[in-house]
Chains A and B, each alone.
Chain A
Amino acid sequence: MIVTADTVRFDSLSLDSGARLGPVEIAYEAYGELNAAKSNAILVLHAFSGDAHAAGPGPENGKSGWWDNMIGSGKAFDTDRYCVICSNVLGGCRGTTGPASINPATGCPYGLTFPVITIGDMVRLQRMLIDSLGIPRLLAVTGGSMGGMQALEWAVGHPDRVVSAIPIATTARHSAQQIAFNEVGRQAIMADPNWNGGDYYGKEPPARGLAVARMVGHITYMSDHSMREKFGRRLRGKEAFGFDFEVDFEVENYLRYRGTQFVNRFDANSYLYISKAMDYFDLTGGQASLDAALEPARARFLVISFSSDWLYPSYQSQEIVRALRARNCDVAYVELESSYGHDSFLVDVEEQSSLIRGFLASTFEKLA
């Protein structure tokens, strides 16, 4: 697997809010080789807390990429056939410009002076990256959760640049429940005194608030079933209740561990900005209906949802599928049985792989 890791810099990016941001850097990784016709490129779009490191051992700590089970030689996104590209989103904190980046105008981190961004802005920056790589059309754009929103945005906003789209475990618009969970996360961060109005760089970060936000997130990524299987009511390293507020249960320990881990790799302000971008996401965007909003889309679609995903329930995927069908778009859809909740798209990949492998092969064949 040929791996490229690079950062591309652009002078300026215009944003949906009307603001301009510049200069902007975007970090990406690529696996596999671009063919001579540049027709085998697949853009993989990460979810909320992901980064450009989608596959292979990590450059720093050797940790596998977030979709390593899907990307590689002989895997669903077969790097022997395709060139798979993944970039860190705008507003992120893993190499792409975000609130923790230095504002060249002040020489200090942006913090809350960073402009509010949208999924459309993230995709516009990705489009600039794809242009700079000289790729005329992407064979596929794909991702789960927020990655799926970006895939949809690509298909609608840049239809001439996308042959196919594979939105997974996602929605055409954030629901009240999804916004509500994000708001709890944001409030947890902002309630931490260390957050200090977003100005904490070089000081103590709002680690407790960010950890609580991540704990809530983790609950929504699992299912009742998977939590019962994984933790049940098992106690953590004790035979009886402690009758205090230290960790009693295995599940408490897990959430605390996940929360603390997250603090080491994620910026609290990025959490605010990216979660807000998801909440603003509504493909309908002022149009009469989702059908009308999908009018520009020309891609072939494969939509996948998971039976136990209650954060992005199947009805949201079906809404997308019905609207595409009403537009007579080429769309395949299946709800996969899985007990892992929203995390299914990351962990339960066997059936997902066979679907994607076949879909990509036939899409590539039709193109040739």
Chain B
Amino acid sequence: MSAHTTRKRAFVPELLGRSDYAIIGQIVEPNTRVLDLGCGEGELLEWLAHNKNVDARGVEISGAKVQRAIARGVSVFQSDIDAGLADFPDQAFDYVILSQTLQETRHPREVLREMLRVGLRGIVAFPNFGHWAVRLSMLASGRAPRTSLFPYEWYDSPNIHFLTVQDFENLAAAEGFRVERRYFLAGHRGVTWLPNLLAEVAVYLVSQG
């Protein structure tokens, strides 16, 4: 990983209250087909449909969230991501988005493979477990780390697979994924060096190598 591929941005604005959404909103080209895995109430898809005229679809496990997404006019279906992609034909989408969901899936490697089967490109945003505050929290307390990014007690955390920026880089290399772009964020600042230590959130644009 090199700093050259990292967009230097002093300040990343928010989109719908999230700076990773701002980056995703920037990456997605207009008039494309987009699938958002774990799309929640469909806010991002709604924004992309209105502002980029994308053909937007979503998958979400929570029935209550699916209801709110459909009520706002987004085509979302209720399913679990680990099982939900098998029915899609190959290359059905230009982008498949996994926004802060990868760490919640049961089989993240299979999900990544599947997303690059059904999509030409994958956009993966995840919280970085290698961030210094996480490391410090664990070192100082001797307990499962709790930070603003990982606020849960170990027993009620939705996160079941913790990964760092370096872990993702290693897996992408092992799987032969091509990393087209990478963005690192700490709050609203872009991180340009030592991302594994300093980035709170990473956003990757990957494709099948």
Contacts and interface: CB of A to CB of B under 8 A. Distances in A.
A359 B67 contact: no
Given A326-B88, A328-B89, A334 B71 contact: no
Contacts of A6: none
A322 interface: yes
Interface in B45-77: 55, 57, 63, 66-67, 69-77
Interface in A326-368: 326-328, 330-337, 351, 354-355, 357-359, 361-363, 365
A127 to B, nearest CB: 26
Given A354-B71, A358-B70, A359-B70, A332 B63 contact: no
B159 interface: no
Contact of B77 (A321, A323, A357, A361): A321
Contacts of A337: 63
Contact of A302 (B57, B70, B88, B89): B70
Contacts of A326: 87-89
A358 B88 contact: no
Given A333-B77, A337-B63, A328 B92 contact: yes
A228 interface: no
A332 B198 CA distance: 39
A365 B46 CA distance: 13
Contacts, number: 64
A46 interface: no
A31 to B, nearest CB: 23
A331 B75 contact: yes
A335 B78 CA distance: 7
A326 B89 CA distance: 6
A134 to B, nearest CB: 28
Interface in A75-103: none
A335 B89 CA distance: 24
Contacts of A363: 73
A336 B71 CA distance: 13
A354 B67 CA distance: 8
B76 A332 contact: yes
B148 to A, nearest CB: 32
Nearest to A327: B89
Nearest to B72: A358
A325 B88 contact: yes
Contact of B78 (A325, A328, A334): A334
A357 B71 contact: yes
A161 interface: no
A358 B75 CA distance: 10
Contact of A358 (B73, B79, B89): B73
A155 B67 CA distance: 23
A175 B187 CA distance: 54
Interface residues of B, number: 20
Given A325-B87, A325-B88, A330 B75 contact: yes
Contacts of A354: 67, 71
A300 B57 CA distance: 12
B75 A355 contact: no
A359 B42 CA distance: 13
Given A325-B88, A326-B89, A328-B92, A334 B66 contact: yes
| Best-buried of A321, A337, A358, A361 by chain B (most CB within 10 Å) | A358
| Best-buried of A334, A354, A358, A361 by chain B (most CB within 10 Å) | A334
Nearest to B92: A328
Contacts of B73: 358-359, 361-363, 365
A330 B45 CA distance: 14
A17 B17 CA distance: 60
Contacts of B74: 332, 362
A362 B57 CA distance: 13
Nearest to A352: B67
A332 B77 contact: yes
A300 B56 CA distance: 12
B63 A336 contact: yes
Contact of A335 (B55, B63, B70): B63
A265 B75 CA distance: 40
Contacts of A361: 73
Contacts of B76: 332, 334
A331 B92 contact: no
A71 B46 CA distance: 27
A55 B76 CA distance: 29
B30 to A, nearest CB: 16
Contacts of B79: 333
B78 A333 contact: yes
Contacts of A358: 70-73
Interface of B: 55, 57, 63, 66-67, 69-79, 87-89, 92
14 contacts: A325-B88, A330-B75, A331-B75, A332-B66, A332-B75, A333-B78, A334-B66, A334-B76, A334-B77, A337-B63, A354-B71, A358-B72, A358-B73, A361-B73
